[in-house]
Structure 1
Amino acid sequence: MDVIVLTKVGGILGPFALIFGLIMNAIYEVLDLVGIPNVALTIILFTLIANILMLPLTIKQQRYSRVSALVTPEIQKINKKYKGRTDEVSQRRMQAETMEVYKKYGASPSSGCLPVLISFPILLALYRIIYNIPSYVNSIHDLFLTIATPIQQTTGGAAIMDQLIEELKISVTKFDFQDIEKIIDALNGVKTTGWDTVANAFASNPNVVQAINNVKDTIININSMPGGLNVMDAPVHFSQGMAGIFPGILIPILAGVTQYLSVKITTPKNNNAAAAPENDMAQSMKMMNVFMPLFSVWICFTLPAGVGLYWVCNSVFRTLMVVIVNRFFNNKDIDELVKENAEKVAERKGKPTFTEKLMSNGASNAQEETKKYQSMSDIAKANRSKKDYMPKNYTPVDKDVPLDPGSISSIAHMLDKSKKDD
């Protein structure tokens, strides 16, 4: 299995990775002070703290879920009313009526997806940190540095590292032997059974061999998990028989089970009842409820056990958070929630969200279009009521002029004349 090793995260994930990296380092340092330095335990506590930090988003999402039980049926009625009507005026009227429903309940069209959009880059940053813990935890970084320093000083070390990266199937982004951080990234991808291979490859440099012997056991111990697993190793090794399958197989199984239970528990039952069978969104959600547990099992088979541990813990802690939040909201009457939402909307009156601006523009345009069409209709009715009304550029046919067979007006005049003669 390929082990993906990444350097410190930049771009949009940079700020998230920096903050959570500091938290990860602080947790490990505390555990080290109390005499239990362990990456697996650090990941568990780190996941718990991350979910606590995201609690405001969870509250916002669950508040919307309660209110959406009232909003969804009315939105479905509006969609059914305008089903098949694709003209611009109908679409704008539908937007206007939809906006009125959201205003009625003090909800926002983006309330349901906004917490997910915000939490997504956070989750990506968490994954990156777990993949490359030495870049964020100082004590672990120092352990790998004691090995990386003599490796970089080894004659021909670059060629040896290239060979090890290929042999041990370590994936390093743009490996550069001159960059000691890249060497640490590569060493972080060495599995439990790979340290002897590294030592043998650098047998020509006693300093490397001694450094590995000094810190190898420490690195293995801090990465250890119950059952003899290691956070940097794949949880299952079929080639090793039953010893390589159990207990590692529990990680992907627990990932699938906890993800399934999380979906079942965190999805409000009243929302399921309100969703009509023909609702495309409801059908998509059902498919996701089946797909996500299966995806969890697959991804925890293929990725290091540390990522699987995070995946399981995240599902468990998120479910607990949602249960606690729902218990709080269940003590509130739904009318009280709607009233609170309406008050919040009133507080930010004059400062609509981006989505509300779009829908409001659509609503106002629909009213303008309706007035325009009504005005055009009134003009047409007035013109038809005039006795002398004639279409623009109309030229009457001269009865005395010989008929032109190629002229539509002449043919019509001829037919009209034949009827009178009959």
Structure 2
Amino acid sequence: MNPLFPIEWAVAWLMVKFHAVLSVFMEPNSGLTWLLSIVGLTVVVRTLIIPLFVRQIRASRAMQTVSPELQAVQKKYKGKTDQDSRQKMAEETMAIYKEAGASPFSSCLPILLQMPIFFGLFRVLFYKLPEAAAGSPFGPLTTELAQSASNSTLLGDVTIADSFLQSGDGGITTKILAGVIIACMSAVTFFTQKELTMKNMPKAALEGPMASTQKMMLYMLPFIYVITGPSMPIGVLIYWLTTNVWTFAQQYIVIRATPTPGSDAEKERHERINAKREKKGLEPLDFTPPKKVSTEPEPEAPIRVQPSKGKGGKKLSDEEKLERARELRAKAAEERRSAQEAAGETPTAPAQGSSALNKGAKKKRKK
């Protein structure tokens, strides 16, 4: 039994329903009508997985943000191959993922869910459509509708079932159309990945092995379309191009509204907010994050200790230390008195206690 049968049936049903709606004001047998039916199918699929897409953006952001912490854990256990070290490394890694709300698998969910639909559409256009046109209807895709889709053309003799490698009656026109669609798919994918990995990530997350992998994907994903695109029918390429454009627009809206803290996208958002406030005559907001206040007491200033040796290197006694202190104090008082006289002020008389101490010291030395 074909596991893709339910998906193929749902894809055919959606195509038929959109074709019926578009046929009200468009030519039913036109290739453009069937092409827009595939676009409508794409819009329905992408609308249903919007929650997963938002989750993918957040997961990718979290994965990039924790990249420096993951590098620190890897460096910590570098060269340790014992079972205990590996287990601790795995536990610390999962703790970082859990704390940041990141998951290595969340970013793959939208792509994984779309793959069955992509292959279902490929089988419908490549196998079911010719079979139904030959007299073997497939679910909602009757023989009359299948013949209409197979015989409908655009840009001359190009049909939605033709491809770059099997150009059919379209010939060179089919190849040019397929090449243009593939080039557009690659360009949209490149700018989508660049917007996510470069503009919406802080500087610290743009370094290390994970950042290198993201940069590699920036060029590898468009190259995949160049390899696989020529064998795909025009209808499948239109589905692919539509979903890539949808992804770019959806990602642009999400990043613009909720950018990653510390990224260039966040700086642009702050500038937009202040520009709007300036037009309204309001003061700009300060988005500088507050500095963390340390709860630990500051270290006490070191206590200055007077030198305990004289000019000749001889260790001073307690009396000599006291005498030196008095001399320095008397010198400072003399300098202060001289400054007051120079300024025209009345000199301050020396303290009585200080004179008494000096006299007592002199008597003590005489004894």
TM norm structure 1: 0.51
- The answer to whether the Cα contact below 8 Å between 1:85 and 1:91 also exists between their aligned partners in 2 is yes
Check whether the contact 2:54–2:254 (CA below 8 A) recurs between aligned residues: yes
- Whether 1:22 aligns to 2:6 is no
Could you say which residue in structure 2 is the equivalent of 1:123? 118
Q: Give the direction of change, closer, same or farther, for the CA distance of 1:29–1:266 in structure 2 (3 Å limit).
A: farther
* Root mean square deviation of aligned Cα: 3.8
- Which residue of structure 2 lines up, in the alignment, with residue 252 of structure 1? 182
Residue pairs, 1:215-254, within 5 angstroms? 218-219=148-149, 222=152, 224-226=153-155, 228-235=157-164, 245-254=175-184
* Cα distance per residue 1:220-256 (max 9 Å; x no partner): 553x234652211224759998656544532222232
Correspondent of 2:216 among 247, 262, 287? 287
Partners of 1:244 and 1:332 in 2: how far apart? 46
Give the fraction of aligned pairs with identical amino acids, expressed as a percent. 29
* TM alignment of 1:148-167, pairs within 5 A: 148=135
After TM superposition, give the deviation of residue 74 of structure 1 in Å: 1.0
Deviations 1:353-399 (A, max 9, x none): xxxxxxxxxxxxxxxxxxxxxxxxxxxxxxxxxxxxxxxxxxxxxxx
Q: 1:52 to 1:98 in 2, by over 3 A?
A: same
Corresponding residue number in structure 2 for 1:363 = none
Q: Is the 8 A contact 2:71 2:208 kept in 1?
A: no
Q: Is the 8 A contact 2:156 2:170 kept in 1?
A: no
Change (3 A) 1:272 1:260: farther
Note the residue ranges of structure 1 that are not aligned, 5 or more in a row. Answer: 1-8, 149-179, 189-210, 335-422
2:7–2:117 CA contact under 8 A, matched in 1: yes
Judge conservation of contact 2:193–2:218 (CA < 8 Å) in 1.
yes
Structure number with greater Rg is 2
Larger deviation: 225-234 or 50-59?
225-234
SS in 1 for 2:107: coil
What's the CA shift for 1:301? 2.1
Give the total of aligned pairs: 255
Rounded to whole Å, the distance in 1 between the matches of 2:240 and 2:110 is: 19
The separation in 2 between residues aligned to 1:229 and 1:240, in whole angstroms, is 5
Consecutive unaligned residues of structure 2, counting only runs of 5 or more, are 264-367
1: CA distance between counterparts of 2:101 and 2:231?
44
Partner of 2:191: 261
In 1, the alpha carbon distance for the partners of 2:174 and 2:80 equals 60
Q: Displacement, 1:299?
A: 2.4
1:361 alignment partner in structure 2 = none
CA contact (8 A) 1:234 1:302 kept: yes
TM score, norm. by length of structure 2: 0.58
- 2:252 — aligned with what? 323
Instruction: Give 1:90 deviation, angstroms.
Output: 0.8
SS in 1 for 2:71: helix
> Who is 2:81 aligned against?
86
CA distance in 1, matches of 2:163, 2:98: 51
Does the 8 Å CA contact 2:60/2:107 hold for their aligned counterparts? yes
CA distance in 1, matches of 2:64, 2:214: 15
Q: Distance in 2 between the 1:331 and 1:302 partners?
A: 38
